[in-house]
A and B are shown apart, each in its own frame.
Chain A
Amino acid sequence: MNAKLLIAGVLVLASAGAAFAAVQVYAPTRSDQTWSNIRDGRYLARAGDCEACHTAEGGKPYAGGRPVPTPFGIIYSTNITPDPDTGIGAWSEDEFYRAMHEGIDKQGERLYPAFPYPWFTHMTRGDVDAIKAYLDTIKPVRQVNRAPELGWPFSMRSVLAVWDKLYLDAKQFQPDPARSAEWNRGAYLVEGPGHCAACHTSKNMLGGPTGGKMQGGMAEHVFAPNLGAGERDGLSSWTRQDIVEYLATGSNRYATAAGPMAEVVQASTQYLKQRDLEAMATYLKSLEGPKPGTPNAPDKDVMHAGAALYVDNCAGCHRNDGAGLRNAFPPLRASSAVQAAQPELLIAVILEGARSPATESKPSGLMMPAFGNKLDDAEVAALTTYIRNAWGNRGGDVSRSAVAKLRNTLASAPQ
């Protein structure tokens, strides 16, 4: 895709964009939802991790206001409590479905795809109605939505019509009759409510999906690893049971969820039923991986410096051989996250520290301290280069400028 041409097109369309009249005349809708709809909706809301995004830190549940950083600026999640004035209490089921399916709100305004409607569009009408039924039961909170902080032209919502035209494939999930029921259930959960691809698929300059399905992508400044096949940087070595354990508890023998994924496990996947997690694992294990890259061979001196930093700062927990400690500290050896195509997740964890998910089955929430105030950019580059290439790892080197850039980004990121 020619990005320049595309932007030009966006601008033309934007200037011709029609203004939508906001209709404020409504009567409360009556819901005929049953207990079991509400129960299913609660489950699907968890599968979709709705609460995590729609709750600000220290804020009321589902009242919105959480900043979502995007390459284009900051978008704030919205109030989806049933408050009729500031939430979605006055939305009909049709209106809610339109938002989930087409990314258009009650007033007819287009929503930014930071709200993952490009994935929720795959959900069935029944499931979406169930979520609305559940949301109608939570405590209404009066809290006015905060306007996004985006630069022109992205500040104009009409631009989004173009985006949707380019990237939104608004259609419900179509089961593949050639595949098992379990595979189809997994595909539905991963592609629909789970919206895994929102992070794990790479995006182009406009935030549109590009590249292979779930073969890794940038998400909130860090690289969300490849979930497809891959000996080094994918899930080839993970069994279905490994994937289930990871999603249910936050860690397995290969990895511990860190960064945004720790929140996903803690708020969402740990609550999914075993058979749903197994279905997701079945689907993920069927995904193709990217073509293996040829990582740069690291500089010998840099590796030497990195090894010394590793012993001083990391080996106590992750051990000299990078094997970690089962049930406590994750291994770095043979880790797909460590050897990911891009090193940002590893850099970010070193700069800012990490907290493993505190789940029902693994409640500890063990933490790694931040080293950003102790190690400078060159040291972090040497250390990450070492970790990505020691003990049989082959992840390529990490530049000092990559560390500096991420450090700046993280420092200015909304908390």
Chain B
Amino acid sequence: MAKKLPEVDVVLVGFGWTASVIAQELTDAGASVLALERGGWRDTVPDFSVTHIQDELRYAVRKQIFEETQRSTLSFRNRPDQLALPMRELGSFLPAAGVGGAGVHWNGQNWRFLPTDFLLRSHNEQRYGKKAIPADMTIQDWGITYEQLEPYYDKWEYLCGISGKAGNIGGKIQPGGNPFEGPRQREYPLPPLKRSAATVLFDKAAREVGLHPFPAPAANTSKPYLNPLGVQMGQCTFCGYCEWFGCANYSKASPQSTILPVLLKKDNFRFRTHCSVVRVLTDSAGKRATGVVYVDPGGKEYIQPAQMVVLCAFAHHNVHLLLVSKIGTPYDPQSQTGVVGRNYAYQVSSSVNVTCKERLNPFMGAGALGQVVDDFNGDNFDHTGKGFIGGGYIALWNTGGRPILQEYLPKGTPKWGAGWKKALHEDYLYSTHMQCHGGMMSYRNNYLDLDPTWTDDYGNPLLRLTFDFYDNEHAMSKFLTDRATQIAKAIPNRGINPKPRKGHYSIIPYQTTHNTGGAAMGNDPRISFVNPFLQSWDVPNLWVMGSTVFPQNPGYNPTGTVGALAFWAADAMKRYIKNPQPLVQP
């Protein structure tokens, strides 16, 4: 029998980025907030200590910082007519566990989506006609506009101390920034990171081929920073251990380095670690969430009653909780009804390795140290006759030159032995790679549901992922890879090795952890699980955070928008607490 605990105002499932933002905002508004985290407590010292965290074998190869599949995994198939098999090891994407969530191990590549991204269906229909969108492509508008979200992007960027160069302030294009971005109210809080040799080469080459390169917005501090909460951050040392590592120098924005020092001191905030939430409870009518059930490491179950439940876990996990809790209508691809699990999307990435003539010293890097062109993202270019919609950015990221996994050696280099050693010796310091970070449309047959066969340690059916790339993605990815190859050719080089993404989606090689959808936001409850304020249509005191609510995935890293949406939703929650009603009527 589960033990029933005293009620709190708000219970947060997960204690990563979105939970930290929501907790900070709602505790300021006077609510009592409790976060339940399945992983453990982690902090800069001792967990990410300098000279300790830079351990590629432990963290990047053995994946010690990620969620264990023994606790939480999923089954996978490409198409609905296949048998899904359970994943005993993850590769394509790597969800986090532990306080701070993926905010601990991200690179810090921090973007705003384009204004047209939020109006994807209506904008493309208007520009290219309804026929440009295939029947099984289930893309939709977000129910909010870029302009509505802009103040929250701003709030997020100043929280994190983003280093960058504005490209559009109040409609005025700024030299040196991204000319395609939506208008922002002011400059970034910090100037761009110092450029590395490779990013300088990319910048020059991209200009030569007529494109508009700019420094990537980085959640790696270019200078010491004091954020609006009074939290101090250090200055990035270009150690090159961002992605899949915690930051040792307080210089990558994470919940630990931006919010927690203030949040954890509050009397009306608490968190519990090693608590796996297995159910969201509702009243008998299913119209009101009454709390959650969680299991501690000893296997003991607890009922945590709450006035409000906010799902702040990883995208997959939020959807899994909704499905096992029987909240909302599960999506059925046959009848195309239901919303929970619908419009799962991902990312289509490809790359071009370049062996330069100039020595690059690639080991001096930072997770979001990069030079980017946005000319081929979203609808920044005319897609007429291209055979696809959407796009992505092309970047030369100088994230680091770690010894095991970050050698971008020439085509044909052996994987081991004398030939590998020779290539490493001759080419490592001259090697770099460019990434095409393509967006992904949503489709009728790309979705999440419960697996009929496999169960997890708690007796719940596994989440089942049915996902593949379609013609639009293949055409888009080829287009981007070709453009990137053009840029690469303009760099003085000893060899170019394009690596386009072809064929079916494979869940094995790492691509990105930018998994989206499954509980989309929108204006129409028939095709969205949450309203534009991220509040459930069915259960108004239940809210869903994170990329779970993206109706499809634009051609950027998601964290900037995830953070902005959390601030946006927090404002709505404050209104809701004063008057607990659905904020939008369907």
Contact = CB atoms under 8 A, between A and B. Distances in A.
A365 B239 CA distance: 23
A302 interface: no
Contact of B261 (A312, A313, A364): A364
Interface in B233-272: 233-235, 237, 239, 248-250, 261-262, 265
Contact of A367 (B44, B230, B235): B44
Interface in B323-340: none
A362 B232 CA distance: 8
A374 interface: yes
Contact of A327 (B45, B46, B232): B232
Which of B45, B52, B224 counts the most A-chain CB atoms under 10 A from its CB? B45
Contacts of B239: 316
B231 interface: yes
A364 B231 contact: yes
A325 B226 CA distance: 12
A317 B51 contact: no
Interface residues of A, number: 24
Nearest to A369: B49
A363 B224 contact: no
Contacts of B224: 325-328
A134 interface: no
A26 to B, nearest CB: 37
Contacts of A6: none
A374 B49 CA distance: 12
B262 A363 contact: yes
B234 A353 contact: no
B43 interface: yes
B161 to A, nearest CB: 11
B261 A367 contact: no
B51 A374 contact: yes
Which of A313, A353, A366, A367 counts the most B-chain CB atoms under 10 A from its CB? A366
A328 B51 contact: no
Contacts of A312: 51
B50 interface: yes
A412 interface: no
A369 B50 contact: yes
Nearest to A326: B224
Contacts of A328: 224, 232-235, 250
B261 A358 contact: yes
A371 B248 CA distance: 14
B51 A363 contact: no
Contacts of B235: 325, 328
A370 interface: yes
A117 interface: no
A361 interface: yes
Contacts of B231: 363-364
Nearest to B234: A328
Contacts of A313: 50-51
A16 B262 CA distance: 57
Contact of B237 (A316, A365, A374): A316
A313 B50 CA distance: 7
A368 interface: yes
A369 B230 contact: no
A246 B239 CA distance: 31
Nearest to B230: A363
A386 interface: no
A268 B86 CA distance: 56
Contact of A368 (B45, B52, B230): B45
Nearest to A329: B234
Contact of A317 (B46, B50, B52): B50
Interface string B207-225: 0000000000000000010
B525 to A, nearest CB: 42
A317 B51 CA distance: 12
B196 to A, nearest CB: 17
Contact of B232 (A353, A366, A369, A374): A366
A367 to B, nearest CB: 4
A131 B233 CA distance: 39
Contacts of B45: 353, 355, 367-369
A358 B51 contact: no
Interface string B43-87: 111100111100000000000000000000000000000000000
Interface in A311-367: 312-313, 316-317, 325-329, 353, 355, 358, 361-367
Given A317-B249, A325-B234, A326-B224, A365 B261 contact: yes
Interface in B1-60: 43-46, 49-52
Contacts of A355: 45
A366 B49 CA distance: 12
A361 B230 contact: yes
B561 to A, nearest CB: 27
Contact of B234 (A317, A363, A369): A317
Contacts of B229: 363
Contact of B250 (A361, A366, A371): A366
Contacts of B249: 316-317
A328 B234 CA distance: 6
Contacts of A365: 261
Given A317-B234, A327-B224, 9 more contacts: A316-B248, A325-B235, A328-B235, A328-B250, A358-B261, A364-B232, A366-B232, A367-B43, A369-B52
Top-4 shortest CB links A-B:
A369-B49, A367-B45, A316-B237, A364-B232
29 contacts: A313-B51, A316-B237, A316-B249, A317-B50, A317-B234, A325-B224, A327-B226, A327-B232, A328-B224, A328-B233, A358-B265, A363-B230, A363-B231, A363-B261, A363-B262, A363-B265, A364-B230, A364-B231, A364-B250, A364-B261, A365-B261, A366-B232, A366-B234, A366-B250, A367-B44, A369-B45, A369-B46, A371-B51, A374-B51
